[in-house]
Structure 1
């Protein structure tokens, strides 16, 4: 029996069940539901309650103290630094990394339309495309956000989340990674275990997708170079072309500031992530 620490949302439980299926142990993985500070403070902006780590710290703690054997995360929720004693033992095949507008297509949004999202990254990029847009804060699980979609002209949701939960809203406009650069790790899952638990590490190695891991590690190197738990509006998306990594990254100098974008290629993902982060920090400083 593997005990898997996870958040209690429908999406988090789907992700844990998916990992169990990949392992071929669907009947042998017991979820341990953990309430995180991000879940308890669902009405507060993420930047106000601690940044990226608010959805993972309590889940990681359950593995470190022995209540669970593994922790299943959305990779986009992880800060760049892994806590001492843990290791990201598997990054399976990535789902769709793109963002989607639900309720109205981008080209059809009326002048001054109200778009709901809790992500500063999404806001600055949409504002760059449509300076006339207005924004409202929106957090909560996927069901909550979809239920509130009618209160706005559009809401922004990760396409992978819609697909994983089998949600098919009447109007969905999936935005390319060139139009809106995704969050670091978006669409990917990350499974952590204790660093010294070699038996579990061996089990998880079987579900690793090397291409996805290479891309996600490059994106996480970008995040680390920005400061590890960056609250600035930033995103990065990497993909493998042959033996080469190609990455597009974005950073804005504040929630209402100018959005800067860079692209690059290289074989060393860590070096590429650091290089693009350095270029964007220089652009923001200027």
Structure 2
């Protein structure tokens, strides 16, 4: 039987994720290491070069072209809508969803100190906690992010990334999801395959974690209501009760300057219905107006 070809990006963290999936599958595998647009352009902001999807398109193309059998992604990098012919065969048990600061904790920063982060979602929520701090853009691999501590007072990263790379020693502060709503899919991995590949789908089904799948599906459903290509800060976090199957979901959308942050929360058993309902609630509570304002500014920019 031919080995399962696993497509992945080439960063240290991406290779950890691909090898984790390979080990979980328990069969012969080989890695297909690819470079994505997001890897090649390290200077532009994510919104300038396409936003969500720039770390996955080339990997998905390898699946479609039958150059790979499985594509491993950080679930947070996936657009809300799945390309035709592909399916997410597994969401393994989710890692830690929280955001973390390295360098210094928020409470020890002085007025005017800078935090390195390229994420508008993180910036607007941190600004709500500390209006007196500033931000500098951040792109690049984890080693680049670690090095920014020498130039800034703190750097914000995903706690799960630190945990997977064995660098929890760097953590200065961790933020609960109620403080900083995470990115959709944060802490979760997604193993994608061709929809018609029954052999691979059966293998991936064995490593799928239902509680994680339901939670991430609810988050992705919310994102699809707001708009998969939304340029505004958006976050969501779902948590599944493994006994009852109930999903608790929180979500937010904010203006780019952080002056307006809208949050919603709710529960349900159907992840798509729950996410859709809360996504619609975000929009009716002011999200639509924020998007209209952002689009007008973009068109006149």
Judge conservation of contact 2:116–2:148 (CA < 8 Å) in 1: no
**Bigger mean CA deviation after superposition, 11-20 or 242-251:** 242-251
CA distance in 1 between counterparts of 2:229 and 2:206 reads 29
SS in 1 for 2:183: coil
**Deviations, residues 36-92 of structure 1 (Å, cap 9, x unaligned):** 000111111101100111000001000100111110000000000111110000000
Cα distance, 1:277 vs structure 2 = 1.3
Cα distance, 1:249 vs structure 2 = 0.7
Judge conservation of contact 2:254–2:261 (CA < 8 Å) in 1: yes
Residues 87/103 of structure 1: CA separation in 2 closer, same or farther (3 Å cut): same
Cα distance, 1:171 vs structure 2 = 4.4
Cα distance, 1:170 vs structure 2 = 4.0
Cα distance, 1:29 vs structure 2 = 1.5
Number of equivalenced pairs: 284
The two structures have a TM-score, normalised by structure 2, of 0.92
Cα distance, 1:282 vs structure 2 = 2.1
The two structures have a TM-score, normalised by structure 1, of 0.96
Cα distance, 1:264 vs structure 2 = 0.9
Judge conservation of contact 1:252–1:259 (CA < 8 Å) in 2: yes
Residue aligning to 1:45:
45
SS in 2 for 1:58: helix
**Deviations, residues 221-262 of structure 1 (Å, cap 9, x unaligned):** 011111122221000000013331101111003344411111
Residue aligning to 1:258:
260
Cα distance, 1:168 vs structure 2 = 3.1
Residues 22/269 of structure 1: CA separation in 2 closer, same or farther (3 Å cut): same
1:8 pairs with 2:10 = yes
Residue aligning to 2:273:
271
CA distance in 2 between counterparts of 1:55 and 1:130 reads 31
Residue aligning to 1:229:
229
Structure 2 regions of 5+ residues with no counterpart? 291-301
Residue aligning to 1:82:
82
**Deviations, residues 179-221 of structure 1 (Å, cap 9, x unaligned):** 1000000000000011110000001100000000000000000
Residue aligning to 2:32:
32
CA distance in 1 between counterparts of 2:33 and 2:259 reads 39
CA distance in 2 between counterparts of 1:69 and 1:243 reads 31
CA distance in 2 between counterparts of 1:224 and 1:168 reads 33
CA distance in 1 between counterparts of 2:171 and 2:34 reads 33
CA distance in 1 between counterparts of 2:281 and 2:249 reads 13
Residue aligning to 2:298:
none
CA distance in 2 between counterparts of 1:94 and 1:171 reads 20
Residues 257/47 of structure 1: CA separation in 2 closer, same or farther (3 Å cut): farther
Judge conservation of contact 1:103–1:169 (CA < 8 Å) in 2: no
SS in 2 for 1:238: strand
Cα distance, 1:169 vs structure 2 = 4.0
